[in-house]
Amino acid sequence: MLRKECDRLYGREYIPNRMVQIVQENDYSNVIFTGLRTIEEFQILNRKLGMKLIFVYADEDTRYQRLLNRKGVKDAKDIISLRKQMLEEEKLFDYPKLEDKAFCRYDFSMNMETYKQNEKKVVDFVMDKLEDQYDNRKVYNGES
C-alpha cells in the first residue's frame, strides 16, 4: 500500500505538512480536502489552517453495494473479502479518532439516486453547520 510505505519512510506527518505547504505557497482559501485518514492529518490541518472536519460515513451494506457496483480491480468481490479489507483499514487509519474530532457528521448510507434527490438539502445542512461553528454533532440521514 502506497500510503503505508510513505508513512514508514517519511512519518505520518509528511503528507499533511505537504498539503499545508501547497495551500500556503499558492495562497489558497476555502479549500476542501477529502479522504483524510489519520489523526495527524486533522491535527496539522486544523492547527495550521483552521480546518473544520466533516465526517462522512456509510454503513457496511452501503459500502459493499458501492464496491460491487463500481467493479474496480482492487475492490473486494465478496462480503468476506470486504470485511477483511475493512479490518486492514481500521489498523491503518484513525477513523474513530477522526469521527470524535468532527464538528459535523454526515451519514452517507444511501444510494446515489437518494443522494441526488437530496443533494441541495445535504449541501444546506453542511453549510449551516459551517456557518454556525457549533459542535452539535447532528447527523443528516437523507430525510427532510
Q: Report which residue type is found at 42.
A: F
pTM of the predicted model as reported, rounded to 2 decimal places: 0.73
Sign, CA dihedral 92-95-101-106, equals: positive
Q: What is the pairing mode between strands 139-140 and 54-57? A: unpaired
Domain boundaries, the chain: 1-51, 55-144
pLDDT digits (tens, 9 = 90+) for 118-141: 878 877 877 787 777 644 444 444
pLDDT digits (tens, 9 = 90+) for 24-82: 999 887 788 888 889 999 999 999 998 888 898 888 888 888 877 877 787 778 888 88
pLDDT digits (tens, 9 = 90+) for 82-93: 888 888 888 888
Q: What residue ranges in the chain does DSSP mark as E strands?
A: 54-57, 104-107, 139-140
Residue among 67, 91, 64, 62 nearest 79 (CA): 64
Q: Report which residue type is found at 54.
A: I
Res 9 pLDDT > 80: yes
